Chains A and B, each alone.
Chain A
Amino acid sequence: MSNEPILRIADLHVCIDDTQILKGVSLEIMPGEVHALMGRNGSGKSTLANVLMGHPAYEITGGTIEFLGEDLAEMEPWERARAGVFLSFQYPQAVPGLQVGNFLRKTVQALRGDDSPSAREFRQELNNAMSELDVSKQFLGRYVNDGFSGGEKKRFEILQLLLSKPKLAVLDETDSGLDIDALQTVAKGINASMGSESGCLIITHYQRILDHVNPSHVHIMIDGEFVKSGGPELALAVEEKGYEWLS
């Protein structure tokens, strides 16, 4: 294991439309670590996720984000993706007319460039990923997130996670709206994508998913700040007592 962090955020301040949302967030994720982020609705969790991916609507007004030692703020979203940052969206977007199979192939090509698999290798890889997640073949002919159920969208995000093999996976409420079986499948996918050289930030409201992915660190965000960080026991405490005692 190397000693360089995958992600190092220092005193991050972020605005949207002149409203301050993040008010000094610091976080370090080392290779092999899974960090959970919990917090009330509207506290700024998705904001952090979007900023990590480079959403153009957010403005960084202070602090730094380093990804494998590089200044992430200087990179376009697609450069971040190609460098190994992956975001599983809380609200995945539909693209009518864009077929899932076609989209995944293009995505893998965009991410891996010269190292892209041949059509046959890609099909093999895709088949493996799809059977791991219990996704049926018919899925490939549908349009990206178009008319997908909530659970299907989340499962599709994880399918993309498996094919993207990122160094940093940011999963924004990937467990929301999943039935019990789907939750286990999705957790299996998350675990399969994690390696000793990658890191994961998983945003969630529930302990359930954490039983499966075993985070080493848990952070609680309230009103744009991390008010408490700790080990897995913190998530259990939140589950039991809510957020009141922390604010």
Chain B
Amino acid sequence: MAENTDARDAVGDYRYGFHDPENHTIRFDSGLSEQVVRDISALKDEPEWMTELRVKAYNHFANRPMPTWGNMSMLEDIDFDAITYFLKSSNQTENDWEDVPEDIRNTFDRLGIPEAEQKWLSGVTAQYESEAVYHSIREDLEEQGVIFLDMDSGLKEYPELVKKWFCTVVPYADNKFSALNTAVWSGGSFIYVPKGVHVEMPVQAYFRINAKNMGQFERTLIIADEGSSIHYVEGCTAPTYSTDSLHSAVVELIALPGAHIRYSTVQNWSANVYNLVTKRAVAHENAVVEWVDGNIGSKLTMKYPAVILKGEGAHAEVISVAYSGKGQHQDAGAKIHHLASNTTSKILSKSISKDGGRGSYRGMVQVSKKAQNCKVNVVCDALILDEGSRSDTYPTMEISNPTCRSEHEASVSKVSDEQVFYLMARGHSEEEALALIVNGFFEPFTRELPMEYAVEMNKLMALEMEGSIG
């Protein structure tokens, strides 16, 4: 076993850790300045308001100190000057898979896209480094007026719609990393679902970092108009390099009255990616927003999907799982703001830590004074697989209205030897037994995913359990 472990340490056990030769059409020098920001905007031929917004955001980023929570020592290690802020791999967004440059196509083929598209999904955007390289949407959706574009194309084709909503849910000055994203964003998805339209099948985006020291700063904006519904799924991977990459996305969701948005993520960045993401939604009257958020990879993730329940009767749900292995810290959670009466929210957080990994749940639920009869339910479960691994919870509840009904449960458990023995007695090796237990623990999350993501997720966890017995 020890031999096995050493070999894994040497080559890395990250399944998606292959990388293609880096062929770029445009690569900016590393480091960030106002000029770099202006250059990115100029290259994209953006309207002036966007350029100015980027510059303002850059200045805010440059002056804003690092967060003083999460994992400060890991955050201090980020070398912003070593990161490349823009890198373009392909000259345009292709609509036909065959037209995508071959090395990029190889990567996505290995990741199982676009097979996924054919089988399950309404539309697919694949983003490689900074920009979208492949994009498709089913014709029937297009006919119903659904807009599904990469964010750059969205800005070009629907400038007024973008201007109306961009930065309204996550202001650029919200935090240091939302400022950084606003300054240098590139790619991401722009989606508009017209009134009453139900997108039955999930739409998908895939993000991949291939180059070393790369920053990926996608920006996603989804607007679901009254009474419409959509399920958006994103997956993220990167190859394993010895130096760190930075992924800092901003996602804004707007669920207008009666709309339903579900946003699912399976994040499996390699163990040298900083994943610092701001995700926030606004839910109007009777709207429903669900974040289904899985964090398996990365070195440090700090991510707290948020919902602002702005209209009466709105409902928010955040189901998240986090797996922290060796050298990893997943600082994840949820934030819900009940601003209106009769709003309800549910948070389910599950975390597993192993091999000295650290999982933290950081949650915040606020109920404002004038919000009557709200309901809040928070459940946090942690599973610790070995000594030396760690799990913490930092739940905050600020309830300013006495009519609120709130429930909060937290549990920390360990895998019992008897449980493992029971499964081994059924013919499963110790690793397989652990994988069954771990996947069972994550099941309330996995069952919410489209089938093939669920299968993928189970395989990933089984891989994480391999070589863990010694």
Enumerate chain A interface residues (CB-CB to B < 8 A): 53-57, 76-78, 80-82, 86-87, 89, 91-99, 103, 106-107, 110-111, 143-144, 160, 164
Contacts and interface: CB of A to CB of B under 8 A. Distances in A.
B441 A93 contact: no
Given A95-B437, A97-B441, A97-B442, A160 B422 contact: no
A144 B437 CA distance: 10
Contact of B437 (A81, A98, A107): A98
Contact of A77 (B416, B418, B419, B425): B425
Contacts of B440: 95-98, 143-144
Contact of A95 (B423, B424, B430, B444): B423
A57 B418 CA distance: 10
Given A78-B426, A87-B425, 11 more contacts: A54-B424, A78-B429, A78-B432, A81-B424, A82-B427, A93-B419, A93-B421, A95-B423, A95-B440, A107-B426, A143-B443
Contacts of B439: 97-98
A77 B424 contact: yes
A77 B443 contact: no
Given A96-B441, A97-B442, A97-B444, A103 B421 contact: no
Contact of A81 (B417, B427, B441, B443): B427
B418 A78 contact: no
Contacts of A57: 417
Contacts of B426: 78, 81, 107, 110-111, 160, 164
Nearest to A91: B418
A92 B422 contact: yes
Given A56-B417, A95-B419, A97-B443, A81 B425 contact: yes
B436 interface: yes
Contacts of A95: 419, 422-423, 436-437, 440
A106 B421 contact: no
A9 to B, nearest CB: 18
B162 to A, nearest CB: 41
Contacts of B416: 93
Contacts of A144: 440
A31 B439 CA distance: 39
B304 to A, nearest CB: 24
A78 B443 contact: no
B436 A93 contact: no
B195 interface: no
A49 B59 CA distance: 70
Given A53-B425, A78-B427, A107-B426, A98 B436 contact: yes
A110 B422 contact: no
B428 interface: yes
A86 B422 CA distance: 11
Contact of A111 (B418, B427, B436, B442): B427
Interface in B231-248: none
A50 to B, nearest CB: 8
A72 B151 CA distance: 63
Contacts of A77: 421, 424-425
A98 B428 contact: no
Contacts of A53: 421, 425
A57 B417 CA distance: 9
Contacts of B432: 78, 110
A245 B97 CA distance: 83
Contacts of B429: 76, 78
Contacts of A78: 424-430, 432
Nearest to A82: B427
Contacts of A107: 426-428
Contacts of A97: 439-444
Interface in B343-399: none
A81 B426 CA distance: 6
A129 to B, nearest CB: 15
Nearest to B446: A97
Nearest to A86: B425
B439 to A, nearest CB: 7
B380 to A, nearest CB: 15
* Residue of B423, B425, B428, B442 most packed against chain A (CB within 10 A): B425
A76 B423 contact: no
B412 to A, nearest CB: 15
A106 to B, nearest CB: 7
Contacts of B428: 78, 106-107, 110
A195 B426 CA distance: 20
Contacts of B444: 97
Contacts of B422: 89, 92-93, 95
Contacts of A143: 440, 443
A56 B429 CA distance: 13
A103 B425 contact: no
A173 to B, nearest CB: 15
A81 to B, nearest CB: 4
Given A78-B429, A110-B432, A160-B426, A55 B443 contact: no
A77 B424 CA distance: 6
A82 B427 CA distance: 6
Nearest to B444: A97
5 contacts: A53-B421, A53-B425, A76-B429, A76-B430, A111-B426
A82 B423 CA distance: 12
A224 B72 CA distance: 58
